[in-house]
């Protein structure tokens, strides 16, 4: 896991073709908006979170965020223990995000 700044995040997701963006917030939090192209898997789902994360290609560079950066850090640690090669935690999370956002699909 690597903690990265918004600038590093924006550059990484723009230039990396082997990327997966993961939002680990709750459904209620996601209603406030999401980073474009993110997949939401709520970390509070416990084993359900692990089951869903296991479906992601472990060779992808996975960019993970939550509301403030704490849960996404935990998610990165879990994913690292599951064998993911590269996980990146957005410092400050969605609260500090200044880039583009989108509304979740129903």
**Annotated active-site positions, please?**
66
Q: How far apart are the first and last CA of the chain?
A: 31
| Six token digits for residue 46 | 């416990």
Q: Is the dihedral angle over the CA atoms 15, 81, 97, 104 positive or is it negative?
A: positive
Name the phi and psi angles at 63, rounded to 5: -100, 120
Name the phi and psi angles at 82, rounded to 5: -90, 0
């Amino acid at each position: 896991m690597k903690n990265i700044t918004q600038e590093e995040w924006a550059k990484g997701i723009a230039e990396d073709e082997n990327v997966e963006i993961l939002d680990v917030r709750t459904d209620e939090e996601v209603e406030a908006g999401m980073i474009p192209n993110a997949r939401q898997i709520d970390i509070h789902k416990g084993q359900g979170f692990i089951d869903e994360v296991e479906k992601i290609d472990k060779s992808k560079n996975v960019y993970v965020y939550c509301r403030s950066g704490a849960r996404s850090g935990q998610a990165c640690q879990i994913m690292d223990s599951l064998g993911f090669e590269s996980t990146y935690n957005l410092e400050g999370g969605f609260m500090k995000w200044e880039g583009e956002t989108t509304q979740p699909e129903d």
